[in-house]
Structure 1
């Protein structure tokens, strides 16, 4: 029996793995986006806690960023998946159910990626806020702007402008972290490539294609972030 060619493997026709790899790529993007958005919310509150919170809140925020930036991301995914499964199983038994109940793999992965990226985004937003010139905030106060209006029209846009480069770096990290979520049973791009490699005995072909898809997603998202940076930097003189 002749071994299929490279083009046969990645095709969308009968016996091709193109559709499966594309589905895996979509799952990768969904995991990365979900984790990044969760991390953005956590990072916003974490930065606020470090900047404006009381002593206890600042200590808790510092502890959060120190712990999450100091332990492996894979360990966090394990804790969410197996810890969540243990909790769901215990609740099920309390309600009369029997047997093991697994925590949804996608949810566990998205939460774990969000928690880890939230620690990084906390520092990104905190640094971005510190980069806002104090005189711009004082000018807004002098104009009589209320605190919500000041945040909406001055602080948030300027902070976002300074945070975008760091957010781009965090996004690239989150995109690569999404490959770790396969341990929860989610079939994302890398896991699909592993399945295809095992089924056809052509690991090099599948991993090359997976690498190309990752690079394509990374390049396109990087272009979007660069365009966003230019948009929010309109009217700013560059040195």
Structure 2
């Protein structure tokens, strides 16, 4: 019986990874867009981005997750009832988890990408403009490679935080790794075994992530000379 539960838990690890990667994609898109907008030096846009990052960082992940999963549908359905509609709006645990984690992590990605963008040498961009490079050429040939190199350390930290935060989505009823581990622990009376297995899964994913991202960091840093003054 224990072996069967172990297999079920590891299978649910796929749900956890899909949740994490989907949230990461959304967070990366949000973070990059907000970071690029913030570099425009527009007070209104910068204020909106700052407000977003403050909101996302200031509210606990679980509180926002519960709001998206429970409160938001209730608010929308109350609006439907007010206008005489029988339509019922619902959000699945997976979608609620992805939306919440992507929204929150996007704020941290904004800071990571923005710090990388402002550290790209202005002289290189001005030289490219002088040579007649288009905006797309400047972005793909100059900005993007340096953006990746400069943001990878912060990106790694954000990803590791995201991996651990996915465990919260089990509280919404998602059949992920933690949900299966909890069910197995309650059914067998062996919480140590199954929670240890869950912890080992997260640790292995984190360890592999660090190895891969450190390799990418070294790869993008190859050929870079640091001048000490």
Indicate whether the TM-score tops 0.5.
Answer: yes
* Cα distance in 2, alignment partners of residues 149 and 55 from structure 1: 27
Count of equivalent residues: 225
Return the TM-score normalized by structure 1: 0.88
- For residue 83 of structure 1, what is the aligned residue in structure 2? 71
- Name 1:18's counterpart in structure 2: 6
Is residue 2:58 matched to residue 1:70? yes
CA–CA distance in 2 between the matches of 1:91 and 1:30? 32
Question: What corresponds to 2:24 in structure 1?
Answer: 36
Q: Which residue of 2 aligns with 1:157?
A: 145
Distance of 1:111 and 1:95 partners within structure 2: 26
1:188 aligns with 2:179: no
Shift of 1:92: 6.7
Shift of 1:222: 1.4
Q: Deviations over 1:59-112 (max 9, x none)?
A: 010011111111101111111111342256457755434xx6531110010010
- The alpha-carbon distance between structure 1 residues 57 and 101, as it changes in their structure 2 partners (threshold 3 A), is closer
Deviates more, 1:168-177 or 1:181-190: 181-190
1:115 corresponding residue in structure 2: 103
> What is the CA distance between 1:133 and its match in structure 2?
1.6
C-alpha spacing 1:92/1:200, structure 2 compared with 1 (3 Å): farther
Unaligned runs of 5+ in 2: none
- Which of 1 and 2 has higher RCO (CA within 8 Å, sep 6+)? 2
User: Which stretches of structure 1, 4 residues or longer, exceed 4 Å deviation after superposition?
Assistant: 90-95
Report the CA distance between 1:53 and its aligned residue. Answer: 5.0
RMSD over equivalenced CA pairs, Å: 1.8
> Counterpart of 2:129?
141
